[in-house]
Chain A
Amino acid sequence: MLGQLRAVVGRATSVGPFGLTPTLIKHNLTCVQLQQTRNAVSSFNSQNIDQLWKSITVVSKQGQRRGRGKKTNSRLIRDVYKDQVVGDGKVKMIWPGLNHSVLRGKEVVQQQRLETPEKDPNEAVKEAKETRLLRRKVHPLDRGFTSATILGRNLKNTTALQFLEEFDYRVIDNRFVSHMTGMFGRYQRAAIVVVCGNGNGLVGLGYGKSMNKMHAVQKASNKAVHRLLHIERFNNHTVLHDFFTQFYATKIFVERKPEGYGLDCHRIIKIICKMVGIKDIKARVEGSTMPMNIAKAFILGLVRQRNFDEFAEEKKLHVVEFNPKQRNFPKVLASPSVCRTRSEIPTSESLDFKQLSLGGRVKFERPPREPFFTRLVGWNIHLKNVEKRRGAKESMYELTAKYGETRSFLAEKYPEARIMNKVYPKN
């Protein structure tokens, strides 16, 4: 572009000596734009700067793959026109035809010196300091599993992609998949699994592939929002009942838990629970832990949950909850339209709700293992030592409540019978 401009200006300035009067120039200047010609044709004129640079720094496709031309050539390529903008320097100038159009409306622009305010030389340094790239701090809840991958990260707050406002998006799987083609050889793409949800019963699972990872994330997120499912919850905090679910080799046992228990499960199940709005759950994954299959198995189990009404109708019995926290008050969760009597129930029929809800599966509860140090020699010695101090903390609290300090009941008579320098028991 700059080269072209020069050519034009060269032509315009060369008009003067050919005998045209300034007045003529004044009136016929419109023709200046039309006379864009080149005098000489060479490889420097016919190709642009990028092509020129490339001609001397080219590395073959094979070579690129092997890491050739990475270091030395990058040093070779240089921006020749750096800091060489016409009219922009210590003194700012308007050069008509160079950095300004020749005409402004119908007037011819004159060469002009612009007034520039004097700058403090230190200001540039200050500005540079201020505009220095600071590391953006991500909220701990948005960070995801690790800093290395985008797994588990809150996509809305940490990326510049486009999302729906009502939903929250998380990546649960991030892989590179490849296949061979005749044209490109190994064709590699990023494969992303995204879970989205509104935290109030809606959840969607999406899978996207693309050469660019972030583009794959966008594709997967869009798909996830298109495939929303509604999940029923118990009191908006946990699953309806215990269930077992399986997808290929991934088996999951899910347990309903009381309020305040929290999410005690695999991290992918935890993310899905957060998206759905489940707060209290215990889940155990057995078999394969492939992220996509865990997600599918869990969501499948959630969708296949049955209402208490369905259980009541199936068994033709009342479904009643006994909560020891509420003194075992029989809380009727569902009633059938017609209730069976005791005599109508065959003795062979199982009335175990847990067994029915788990579909006959039984979860293996591994007995808690004692810590290793209880098998060491010193453990019994430690127990003997601790035995002397049992109840010391409680009695210390009681004494502090009674006297305001730790002291013996004899302290009234014998002032030395108190602990002057406080020594707290170890346990």
Chain B
Amino acid sequence: MALACRTARSIRSLNKNVFCISRRQTNSSNALQGPKIPFRPFSDSVGVKPAGSTASPAGRRDPAVFFFNDEIQSCLLDLNMREISKVFEPRKEGKAFPEPEVKFLTQEELDEELARAQEDARYYLQLPPVLLAKEDQVKILSKDPELQGLEESKILVTDISFGVPHHERIIVARDTDGTLRTATIEERQRVLQTYFPQEGRSVDTPQLFSPDKLKPLLEKMEYEFVLDKACAQFEPDERDYVSVTSITYDHIDENGNYDVLVGTRHYGSLAFYLIFNGRHDKFLKHCISTCKIMDAVTIVKVFYLTRPDITKYSNPTAPDDTSFLKEYISLYAKDKAPLSMALNAYLELKLPTAEEESSLIGNK
């Protein structure tokens, strides 16, 4: 009883502080933003720093700064949206659906429905963020050695009131040695999943993310399955999410299976991951050699945007601007020879467009 009372009192005092902090944060963000930008999950919760300080405490560059940049976001979304038919293919969801319905529509209604489908595609092709793993920031609230040995296990306490965002929710732990502290990320996820269960997520990490189970899945090219499951199971700034996705992206890059992710929400994130880590030349070559020249241009554009120190470059004049690619290859590419060869091959074997083909047939 004494323990419960003490913990409750500590939380109350903590709650006040948090309230103050959160209010201050909202004020400052409003002042900074000015015009309202569309909601992007995690863009505010991961604490995006101003672009000047791109280095995280560990000395690595923080991808969040670039990933949530509006221009890069629109580029990556373009990559995803280039092939939306895969979104509307039947999937194995393990449940019965109602039967298809046939309707009579006017031209306006049909246009509306097609626009709705486009919106749906945009919804299903949202980019899963590429972030650094958030580190545990445990704050010791009080040390009460007199409570030592009272309980055999630690106690997690949370506030389950309605309407509080999960990243602001107060969760504290009382250790067996009497220390009262804020909960670690792992403990937070456990408590949140217990009180606010999310579909497709389990309290314990599923075994498919263990290395010995993950490897055969990747060998079978079940990339989309793994990435979808990771999105459902973890928060994007969790350590497990970052490791699982990077392993998957690396595997795709190693084996050149980029086409498996075309038309899925992970395609843009894969591109960003590779570009941000400076390993995009193989991907670029793949895009050029498979005649996805618009994708290649977007990749190069994102490359320039993620390197603020490179200022000397011209913007692409068209979505399939090959001179833009040529400039990149000659100036910044790591492996110049294979890329330029691929581009030359593309230019030589450039397939005639549908119009050209029809005109040829007409001449005959």
Query: Which residues of A come within 8 Å of B, CB atoms?
Result: 241, 257-258, 311, 315, 317-330, 332-333, 339-342, 345, 351, 353-354, 401-402
Using Cβ atoms and an 8 Å threshold, which residues of chain A touch B124?
Answer: 327
Prevailing SS type, chain A contact patch: mixed
Cβ A325 vs Cβ B103 within 8 A: no
Using Cβ atoms and an 8 Å threshold, which residues of chain A touch B114?
Answer: 330
* Contact among B87, B89, B104, B207 with A318 in the assembled complex (CB-CB below 8 Å): B104
Task: Judge whether B21 is part of the interface by a CB distance below 8 angstroms.
Answer: no
Which residue in chain B gives the minimum CB-CB distance to A324?
B97
Cβ B113 vs Cβ A330 within 8 A: yes
Which residue in chain A gives the minimum CB-CB distance to B103?
A320
Task: Judge whether B347 is part of the interface by a CB distance below 8 angstroms.
Answer: no
Which residue in chain A gives the minimum CB-CB distance to B114?
A330
Could you list 17 A-B pairs, sorted by A, with CB under 8 Å?
A317-B104, A317-B105, A320-B102, A320-B110, A321-B101, A321-B102, A322-B101, A322-B102, A324-B100, A330-B105, A342-B108, A342-B109, A345-B106, A351-B104, A353-B102, A353-B104, A401-B207
A318 and B120 in contact, given A324-B98, A401-B207 (Cβ under 8 angstroms): no
Query: How far, in Å, is B355 (CB) from chain A's closest CB?
Result: 23
Cβ A322 vs Cβ B88 within 8 A: no
Task: Judge whether B99 is part of the interface by a CB distance below 8 angstroms.
Answer: yes
A315 and B104 in contact, given A329-B117, A330-B110 (Cβ under 8 angstroms): yes
Using Cβ atoms and an 8 Å threshold, which residues of chain B touch A340?
Answer: 106
Task: Judge whether B47 is part of the interface by a CB distance below 8 angstroms.
Answer: no
Query: How far, in Å, is B50 (CB) from chain A's closest CB?
Result: 39
Task: Judge whether B107 is part of the interface by a CB distance below 8 angstroms.
Answer: yes
Interface residues of B in 84-136 (CB under 8 A from A): 87-90, 97-110, 113-114, 117, 120, 124
Cβ B105 vs Cβ A320 within 8 A: yes
A257 and B106 in contact, given A327-B87, A329-B88, A402-B204 (Cβ under 8 angstroms): no
Cβ A326 vs Cβ B89 within 8 A: yes
Number of A-B contacts (CB under 8 A): 78
What CA separation (Å) do A324 and B207 show in the bound complex?
32
What CA separation (Å) do A328 and B106 show in the bound complex?
17
Cβ B97 vs Cβ A318 within 8 A: no
A258 and B108 in contact, given A320-B113, A326-B89, A329-B88 (Cβ under 8 angstroms): no
Which residue in chain B gives the minimum CB-CB distance to A241?
B102
Using Cβ atoms and an 8 Å threshold, which residues of chain B touch A315?
Answer: 104
Cβ B103 vs Cβ A351 within 8 A: yes
Using Cβ atoms and an 8 Å threshold, which residues of chain A touch B90?
Answer: 323, 325-326
Using Cβ atoms and an 8 Å threshold, which residues of chain A touch B103?
Answer: 319-322, 351, 353
What CA separation (Å) do A339 and B101 show in the bound complex?
20
Given A322-B102, A324-B98, A345-B106, 9 more contacts at CB 8 Å? A318-B104, A323-B100, A326-B88, A327-B120, A329-B120, A330-B105, A330-B113, A333-B102, A342-B108
Cβ A325 vs Cβ B87 within 8 A: no
Cβ B100 vs Cβ A341 within 8 A: no
A317 and B117 in contact, given A324-B98, A326-B89, A329-B88 (Cβ under 8 angstroms): no
Which residue in chain B gives the minimum CB-CB distance to A341?
B106
Which residue in chain A gives the minimum CB-CB distance to B111?
A330
Query: How far, in Å, is A337 (CB) from chain B's closest CB?
Result: 12
Q: Binary interface profile of B, 157-201, with partner A (CB < 8 Å = 1, else 0)?
A: 000000000000000000000000000000000000000000000
A327 and B88 in contact, given A320-B105, A341-B108, A402-B204 (Cβ under 8 angstroms): yes
Query: How far, in Å, is A405 (CB) from chain B's closest CB?
Result: 15
What CA separation (Å) do A318 and B124 show in the bound complex?
27
What CA separation (Å) do A342 and B107 show in the bound complex?
9
Using Cβ atoms and an 8 Å threshold, which residues of chain A touch B207?
Answer: 401
Which residue in chain A gives the minimum CB-CB distance to B113?
A330
Query: How far, in Å, is B89 (CB) from chain A's closest CB?
Result: 7
Using Cβ atoms and an 8 Å threshold, which residues of chain A touch B113?
Answer: 320, 330
Using Cβ atoms and an 8 Å threshold, which residues of chain B touch A327?
Answer: 87-88, 117, 120, 124
Using Cβ atoms and an 8 Å threshold, which residues of chain A touch B87?
Answer: 327
What CA separation (Å) do A323 and B113 show in the bound complex?
13
Using Cβ atoms and an 8 Å threshold, which residues of chain B touch A318?
Answer: 104-107, 110
* Contact among B88, B98, B107, B204 with A341 in the assembled complex (CB-CB below 8 Å): B107
Using Cβ atoms and an 8 Å threshold, which residues of chain B touch A325?
Answer: 90, 97, 100
Which residue in chain A gives the minimum CB-CB distance to B93?
A325
Using Cβ atoms and an 8 Å threshold, which residues of chain A touch B117?
Answer: 327-330
Query: How far, in Å, is B354 (CB) from chain A's closest CB?
Result: 20
What CA separation (Å) do A327 and B123 show in the bound complex?
12
Looking at A241, A329, A353, A402, the one whose CB has the most chain B CB atoms below 10 A away is A329
Using Cβ atoms and an 8 Å threshold, which residues of chain A touch B100?
Answer: 258, 321-325
What CA separation (Å) do A322 and B110 show in the bound complex?
11
What CA separation (Å) do A354 and B103 show in the bound complex?
9
Cβ B107 vs Cβ A339 within 8 A: yes
